[in-house]
Amino acid sequence: MKGNKIEIADIELRIAEIIIDELKIEDVTPQTFDVNLDLVDELGIDSMDLATVALMLQDEYDIEIDESDYPELTSIHLIAEYIKERLQ
Look up the pTM and report it.
Answer: 0.90
Tell me the residue type at 24.
K
Tally of CB atoms within 10 A around 38: 13
Average pLDDT over residues 27-47: 93
Calpha distance 58→61 (Å, rounded): 5
Closest CA to 55 of 88, 39, 79, 31: 79
Domain 8-87: give its CATH code: 1.10.1200.10
CA quadruple 56, 51, 14, 20: dihedral sign: positive
Q: Return the amino acid letter for 61.
A: Y
Q: Where are the domains of the chain?
A: 8-87
pLDDT at 22 over 60: yes
Q: What is the pLDDT of residue 2?
A: 45
